[in-house]
Amino acid sequence: MKPPERRPLLLSPPTITEADAEAVHEGLRGGWAAPAGPLLAEFEQSVASAIGVAHAVALTSGTAALELGLRALNVTAGDWVIVPALSFAAPAFAAAHIGARLAFVDVDRDTWTMDSSALVMTIREIHAMGGRVGAIIPVDLYGNPADYEKLLPLAQEFRIPLLEDAAEALGARHSLGMAGSFGAAAVISFNGNKIVTTAGGGMLLSEDPQLIDRVRYWSQQSRTPAPWYEHEEIGYNLRLSSVLASLGSSQVARLDDLVERRRSIRDWYRKYLGTEASLSILDDPTYASGNAWLTVVRFDSRTHPDAATCVRECLSEQLVESRPVFKPLHLQPVFESSMCLAARNSEAIFQESLCLPSGAELRESDVEWISDMVLSALRDTRRT
Ligand SMILES: *Cc1c(COP(=O)(O)O)cnc(C)c1O
């Protein structure tokens, strides 16, 4: 089959329309080329209402939102913060910025999100050592919401605030609510590779207006209302620019379409790869409909031990970008000394899985072509 012409095919490139560009122009012309002004409030409202949460503050990144969220939940140096082992590093970085200690817990083998029994064991271990758990940060990995029906009652039972890392999951639906609506506060990312982008940005959401006000105040250099710059607390400069907020508002207006497209892409991969017994595609959890931010394929290591690497190299030769899933955080050199009781699911998923191109502009013919290459690379690995 002849390869499609539009190449290279990237993992998750941003989707920018003429309307987006026009919105940015308007943002620039509106006299608010600054991290302040009415466009920010408009963007915050549009995301908050898409998720069904009352309050939101737009920040320069999801990582910044995690850090300020932790601070607003009174996490301080020496506290423990619990993060899933299988995750992008940002929630762990945010905790480390505050001087918190890290404990990584394994993920569920089907949903790839925080495992509730591993969480309980870790909390008990920390308490037995006399430690205080400052926060639990479940991650809605690859757009699949974590199992909040199990995690929220545990957070409540142990009286530990839960901060939802929904950075990858905007538009995902859990049976109890949208991703970004769980816990004491939640974080969304608008990085260039996420489902909605502000060319870099993030947001903290909460039902608690005081929590959001405090974070907004910190993010604007802790300026108190006085004619001069009066500071009672250490501040940050982490507020999103209005110009970027205007891009965000324009993108969020298309959220349903963007989610639908990513889910269709995953369906196409299922159509072209689904009959191959030695692989499986990460699916929705039973309790949710994910946003299919990335389509992730897992190979059977008993028959194809090195498939993820071989397939990635074959795709790369054809200028198709794929990426291993997140390397478990307890295996990262920088987190060598953190706590992790066990994370066998995370380790196996890392060895066996690969993220495939999932950008909203992919066509069915692209997916068919990529799938053909995946299958032929798999046949080659079986032979060796
Ligand atoms: C992208 C991401 C973040 C961080 O968001 P940035 O906006 O890039 O700082 C946090 N957590 C997870 C799970 C992510 O994928």
Are 179 and 51 in contact by the 8 Å Cβ rule? The answer is yes
Query: Which residue intervals of the chain are DSSP H helices?
Result: 18-29, 38-51, 62-72, 90-98, 116-128, 148-157, 209-219, 242-252, 255-273, 307-317, 344-352, 364-383
Distance 342 CA to ligand 1 centre (A): 24
7 pLDDT higher than 80? no
Say how many Å lie between the CA of residue 304 and the centre of ligand 1: 31
Q: What percent of the chain has pLDDT over 70?
A: 98
- Does the structure show a pLDDT above 70 at 384? no
Q: What is the mean pLDDT of residues 121-132?
A: 98
pTM of the model: 0.97
| pLDDT on residue 37 | 87
Residues within 6 Å of ligand 1 by CB = 61-63, 87-88, 90-91, 139, 165, 167-168, 189, 191, 202
Tell me the best of 11, 81, 88 to mutate to test the pocket of ligand 1, counting ligand atoms within 8 Å of each CB and taking the most.
88
Return the residue whose CA atom lies nearest to atom 13 of ligand 1: 88
pLDDT(269) > 80: yes
pLDDT tens by residue, 137-183: 999 999 999 999 999 999 999 999 999 999 999 999 999 999 999 99
Of the candidates 331, 283, 279, the one whose C-alpha atom is nearest the C-alpha of residue 307 is: 279
Q: Is the peptide bond before 8 cis (omega within 30 degrees of 0)?
A: yes
Calculate the average pLDDT of the chain.
96
pLDDT value at residue 359: 96
Give me ligand 1 centre to Cα 182, in Å.
Answer: 17
pLDDT for the residue 5? 58
Which one-letter DSSP state was computed for residue 114?
Answer: B
Q: Which atom of ligand 1 is nearest to the CA of 139?
A: 13
Among 35-44, 61-70, 223-232, name the most confident range: 61-70
Residue 32 — pLDDT band, cuts 50, 70, 90? confident
Looking at residue 35, its amino acid is P
The stretch 220-237 carries a mean pLDDT of 94
Q: Whose CA is nearest to atom 2 of ligand 1?
A: 167
Question: Where does the pLDDT of residue 382 fall: very low under 50, low under 70, confident under 90, or very high at 90 and above?
Answer: low
pLDDT of residue 35: 86
**293 Cα to the center of ligand 1, angstroms:** 13
CA-CA distance, 7 to 77, in Å (whole number)? 47
- In the three-class reduction of DSSP (H, G, I as helix; E, B as strand; rest coil), residue 84 is classed as strand
The ligand 1 atom nearest the CA atom of 61 = 7
CA of 167 to the centre of ligand 1 (A): 5
